[in-house]
Amino acid sequence: MIRVRFAPSPTGYLHLGNIRTALFNYLFAKKNKGQFLLRIEDTDTERSKREYEESQKEDLLWMGLRWDEGPDVGGPCGSYRQSERLEIYREFVDDLIKKQRAYYCYVTEEEVEEMKRVARLEKKPPRFDNRGRNFSEPEIERRKAKGIKPTIRFRIKEPELILHDMIRGTVKFNLEDMVGDFVIVKADGMPTFHLAVCIDDALMKVTHVIRGEDHLSNTPKHVMLTEAMGLMPPMYGHLPLVNGPGGEPLSKRMDSISVRHFRKQGYLPEALANYIALLGWSAGDNREIFKFEELIESFDLARVGKSPAAYDPQKLNWVNGEHLRKLADQDFARKSLAYLKEQKLLRIPEPLAVRTLPVFKDSIDKFEDLGDRLGFMAEDFSYEEKGWLTREPSKNIFKRAILLLPDLAFDNPEVYQVFIDKLKPEVTVKGKDLFMPLRVALTGREHGPELKKLFPILGRDFITMRLKKALEVV
């Protein structure tokens, strides 16, 4: 059975890049009737926080990515937090030292940085020169006496490694140039990412690792280390990176690309998943709008490209707008009302909002837009666009309209057309000069939903009150 994992570090909020990794893993697993695991890689004790872990889990669930094994769910391969697996790592490290595939290294961090500096000056890869392998016993004792705490490094043997990447095909690594003996246990005794991830992937029976291209250079380390521990490496596939609109790399620290930010702006989770899936993947049939179930059905790792994808906020808005317009009016009202209440943007009575919200379904990109759109019905509303209201023909329109309102049947869905048919003979203007003053008087704006949809919702009392308010504008 195919088993994949998403393994975030709880050192920040989920952003566009790592939620795409989670989504592609989930789609790959579910398309192939496999399992999706969540593992928390929290060995960075200084930066890891439980509040970030809870936020990451909440974002995954909001996106519809429910894990089959992991924290809060359990499973046969737990614990699913690396900080709770330290004893397991220690056993493997002891065995590597016993087999002379790892060693205590007393080279200081300052010496490592100096190696890198010199290598850069010589225009060489900033690799570790393996000097710690060959320290004599007196040298080691001298360093111990100075209080230097050792790391544990994995001993590189193979000068070259060739592997098959599920996305990039055959990849060849020259290890002599790119890497030296690398740290698997830090000086404080905590395992590094390289050690923990290899052990966990093997013991959790992960069959495929799908991750970002920035991890490609780590793959030879992981294959060698896994095999040295007598374990089976998974298959690897490395996703192209996601760049910003101008081609610049997206920063992990940018709040504007965090899932939390997208949620706050009022994007639908299924629309966000749809858009993110298009960052580096296509179905091959020119489709761009997918339900979540259709993403699972259509997903094929073979159709993931190798070139960087570009994040385009306008494209995201378009995708989200398409999903909004596919919602039934009742679902749109329910979801948008829940958003407005959560974000404290609701300024009108809830029953009125429920009736009115579907009118805006065709004219917004995300729920965040609704707070401003509904503002014209708030008690503290005031006109900002006044040009149409101050014209003399407009004053006459409002006065005549007020006289017609008492005889209108507002339970008639065609009440607006009846109103207009009665109003036209009463005034001297037509077309834009008739409709625009009415629109601005009722909504405060020149653009917005059709008045024929708004009219029966707003009702006689509101319309009368607003027309009288328009007459007061000078």
pLDDT digits (tens, 9 = 90+) for 231-270: 999 999 999 999 987 777 776 556 678 999 999 999 999 9
Q: Is the pLDDT of residue 177 over 80?
A: no
Distance CA 57, CA 260 (A): 12
Has residue 147 got a pLDDT over 60? yes
Per-residue pLDDT at 174: 86
Condensed to tens digits (0 to 9), the pLDDT of residues 411-460 reads 999 999 999 999 999 998 999 999 999 999 999 989 888 999 999 999 99
Residue among 37, 27, 41, 25 nearest 67 (CA): 37
Q: Looking at the predicted structure, is the pLDDT value of residue 197 above 70? A: yes
- Count of beta carbons in the 10 Å neighbourhood of residue 373: 18
Q: Percent of the chain having pLDDT more than 90?
A: 84
> How much is the pLDDT for 246?
76
Q: What is the predicted pLDDT for the residue at 157?
A: 87
Q: What is the pLDDT averaged over residues 364-376?
A: 92
- Contact yes or no for 205/232 (Cβ under 8 A): no
Q: Please say whether the beta carbons of 366 and 266 come within 8 A.
A: yes
Cβ-contact 209, 235 below 8 angstroms: yes
Report the 10 Å Cβ neighbour count for 61. 13
* Residue 256: per-residue pLDDT: 72
Phi, psi of 208 (to 5 degrees): -135, 130
Render pLDDT for 282-340 as a digit per residue (tens, 0 to 9).
999 999 999 999 999 999 999 999 999 999 999 999 999 999 999 999 999 999 999 99
Does residue 386 have an active-site annotation?
Answer: no
**123 pLDDT exceeds 90?**
no
State the pTM of this model. Answer: 0.92
Q: What are phi and psi of 265, to 5 degrees?
A: -80, -15
The pLDDT of residue 384:
84
Kindly name the residue from 116, 205, 252, 452 that is annotated as catalytic. Answer: 252
| pLDDT tier for residue 42 given thresholds of 50, 70 and 90 | very high
- Model confidence band, residue 77 (pLDDT cutoffs 50, 70, 90): very high
Q: Are 7 and 48 in contact (CB under 8 A)?
A: no
Is the per-residue pLDDT at 63 higher than 70? yes
Q: Nearest Cα to 224, choosing from 403, 407, 96, 54?
A: 96
